[in-house]
């Protein structure tokens, strides 16, 4: 940011949405009409194509009414102290949002916005923090006006001396990013975002409807039809069921990887994070560009996450749990999808947060009751397995129960080894997860509640869990420390609550 006076909008003049707002809403109109389109196809197959076309036309025109009415009835005006928005025809709504109540000003551009040089402005005042709706949306206005409106709100909140905007002067010089992702890193992040859940869905679809639609990579006929005149190599694949299954699995993995790469590329393309006077500014997106400012004073917790492969290669993701919204998807903000330790340290410095030294001593692990209680829970399953084996005179149920119990116990043991916590001055650090590891950095002054929970089995082992209530995120988020001695839990709670008062 330079020292020049910020540029703002002129005040006192009611403004309308851009005339092409209805064009930018065509995507929403088509989404609302998809049900009628399916019904029209069914009617058309009955030979009633004229009726089908009429149905689609009526529904399409009906869905155009809302954007048309919005454009005709909506006006906004930038005043000296706030923004006034008027909307509605039969029932008029007059809303005034003071500048000092606006917490976030976000700009969003889909493909049509970018084509016509427009943007959607989203305002949040905190009245719906963490929810799925914005306090105020101005859709759509010229991009220059959207940028000036954002600057106007920032200027009034910062108390700077404004300068009225001219027609050819927009926002002040942009600060250099503290973190950015080039195309190569975006594609790499897409590979890491491959999900086993996607693989499970694809496998289930292949087994249930794959033969019906002719796409089942686990079937020899699928490969036979795909390469009817194949080389001997394909004949070998079709002759060996195990190899066929292997190639089917590889096909699903390839589809899962492609899905992860495409989704990540569309969301994170040209990712840039920079520091503003109030927080962090994040811009990203391929088709839909989003420009979001995350006020640091609204950040409730920072979460560092990594997986087994990412951890081995030295990559981590960084997320903020905030009272601010993320384009209507709640208050979970990814500010570094794939970053090295040095890059994360720079973001911490920009946030004025202390960095976390993983070599620091003082971490405390839960008691072994965390594992022992799980063993106690597994006893009924083992008893049932052995009972079935005794009645049926076969050992398969007992062996299966033992195998499943052994695997689950091993996972529980590994989870216990990776769960730890420590008090770090004015914050609490909680590390959890064996496969997907998470480090939660929780400032004491952002904690809303501290609960000590003891279940029936916990009482037997004399342990409790501490649950920290933290606002923001997807709903009211909880972070917890599991299976520590009850006396330690109560002492730590009293210590933390004493510092919070």
Residue 168: which pLDDT band, with cuts at 50, 70 and 90?
very low
Q: For the residues 67-72, what does the mean pLDDT come to?
A: 80
Q: For the residues 270-286, what does the mean pLDDT come to?
A: 90
Judged against a pLDDT cut of 80, whether residue 47 lies above it is answered with no
Q: For the residues 162-187, what does the mean pLDDT come to?
A: 68
Name beta bridge partners: 291. Answer: 107, 283
Indicate the pairing of strand 104-109 with strand 289-295: antiparallel
More confident residue, 55 or 226: 55
Q: For the residues 3-30, what does the mean pLDDT come to?
A: 68
Query: What pLDDT is attached to residue 5?
Result: 45
In the chain, what are the helix, strand and coil shares in percent, each to the nearest 5? 45, 25, 30
Segment 412-426, tens digit of pLDDT:
999 999 999 999 889
Residues whose CB is less than 8 angstroms from the CB of residue 90 and which lie 6 or more positions away in sequence, other chains included: none
Query: What pLDDT is attached to residue 4?
Result: 44
Segment 453-471, tens digit of pLDDT:
998 889 999 999 999 988 8
- Percent with pLDDT over 90 in the chain: 25
Q: In this predicted structure, which of 116-125, 201-210, 319-328 has the lowest mean pLDDT?
A: 201-210
Indicate the pairing of strand 332-339 with strand 15-16: unpaired
The ranges of the chain annotated as CATH 2.30.29.30 are: 369-500
Judged against a pLDDT cut of 80, whether residue 268 lies above it is answered with yes
Which of 343, 311, 369 is closest to 488 using CA atoms?
A: 369
Segment 367-406, tens digit of pLDDT:
999 999 988 888 887 888 778 777 777 777 788 888 888 8
Judged against a pLDDT cut of 70, whether residue 11 lies above it is answered with no
Judged against a pLDDT cut of 50, whether residue 100 lies above it is answered with yes
Q: Output the CA–CA distances (angstroms, integers) from residue 359 to 142, 199, 302, 340, 486, in the order listed.
A: 51, 37, 19, 17, 27
What is the chain's mean pLDDT, rounded? Answer: 78
> How far apart are the C-alpha atoms of 463 and 203, rounded to whole Å?
41
Which DSSP symbol is given to 442? E
> How far apart are the C-alpha atoms of 281 and 283, rounded to whole Å?
7
More confident residue, 311 or 389: 311
Q: In this predicted structure, which of 324-333, 353-362, 484-493 has the lowest mean pLDDT?
A: 324-333
CATH of domain 369-500: 2.30.29.30
Q: Output the CA–CA distances (angstroms, integers) from residue 148 to 79, 119, 163, 268, 300, in the order listed.
A: 14, 12, 11, 25, 29
CB-based burial of residue 83 (10 Å sphere; 0-12 exposed, 13-18 middle, 19+ buried)?
buried
Residue 157: which pLDDT band, with cuts at 50, 70 and 90?
low
Query: What pLDDT is attached to residue 352?
Result: 93
Q: In this predicted structure, which of 26-35, 295-304, 358-367, 401-410 has the lowest mean pLDDT?
A: 26-35
Residue 165: which pLDDT band, with cuts at 50, 70 and 90?
very low
């Amino acid at each position: 940011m330079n020292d020049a006076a910020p540029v703002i909008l002129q005040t006192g003049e009611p403004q309308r949405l851009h005339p092409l707002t209805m064009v930018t809403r065509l995507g929403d109109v088509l989404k609302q009409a998809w049900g009628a389109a399916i019904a029209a196809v069914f009617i058309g197959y009955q030979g009633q194509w004229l009726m089908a076309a009429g149905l689609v036309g009526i529904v399409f025109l009906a869905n155009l009414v809302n954007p048309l009415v919005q454009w005709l009835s909506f006006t906004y005006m930038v005043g000296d102290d706030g923004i006034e928005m008027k909307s509605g025809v039969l029932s008029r709504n007059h809303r005034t949002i003071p500048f000092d109540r606006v917490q976030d000003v976000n700009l969003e551009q889909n493909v049509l916005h970018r084509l016509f040089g427009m943007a959607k402005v989203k305002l949040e005042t905190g009245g719906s923090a963490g929810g799925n709706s914005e306090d105020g949306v101005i859709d759509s206005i010229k991009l220059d006006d959207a940028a000036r409106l954002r600057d106007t709100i920032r200027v009034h909140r910062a108390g700077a001396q404004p300068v009225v905007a001219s027609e050819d002067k927009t926002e002040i010089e942009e600060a250099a990013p503290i973190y950015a992702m080039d195309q190569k890193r975006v594609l790499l992040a897409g590979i890491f975002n491959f999900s086993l859940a996607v693989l499970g869905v694809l496998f289930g679809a292949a087994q249930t409807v794959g033969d019906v639609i002719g796409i089942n990579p686990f079937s020899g006929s699928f490969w036979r039809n795909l390469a009817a005149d194949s080389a001997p190599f394909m004949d070998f694949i079709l002759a060996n069921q195990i190899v066929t299954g292997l190639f089917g699995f590889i096909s699903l993995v390839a589809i899962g990887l492609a899905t992860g790469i495409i989704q990540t590329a569309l969301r994170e393309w040209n990712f840039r994070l920079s520091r503003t006077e109030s927080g962090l500014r994040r811009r990203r997106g391929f088709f839909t560009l989003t420009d979001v400012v995350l006020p640091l004073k609204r950040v409730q917790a920072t979460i560092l996450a990594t997986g087994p492969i990412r951890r081995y290669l030295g990559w981590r993701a960084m997320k903020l749990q905030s009272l601010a919204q993320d384009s209507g998807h709640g208050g979970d903000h990814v500010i570094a999808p794939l970053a090295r330790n040095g890059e994360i340290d720079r973001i911490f410095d920009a946030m004025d947060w202390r960095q976390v030294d993983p070599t620091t001593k003082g971490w405390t692990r839960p008691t072994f009751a965390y594992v022992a209680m799980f063993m106690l829970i597994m006893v009924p399953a083992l008893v049932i397995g052995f009972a079935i084996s005794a009645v049926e005179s076969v050992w398969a149920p007992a062996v299966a129960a033992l195998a499943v119990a052994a695997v689950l116990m091993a996972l529980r043991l590994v989870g216990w080894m990776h769960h730890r916590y420590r008090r770090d001055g004015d914050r609490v650090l909680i590390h959890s997860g064996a496969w997907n590891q998470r480090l939660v950095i929780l400032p004491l002054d952002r904690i809303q509640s501290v609960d000590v929970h003891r279940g029936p089995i916990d009482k037997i082992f004399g342990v409790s869990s501490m649950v920290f209530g933290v606002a923001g995120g997807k709903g009211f988020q909880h972070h917890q420390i599991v299976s520590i001695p009850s006396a330690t839990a109560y002492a730590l709670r009293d210590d933390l609550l004493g510092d919070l008062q």
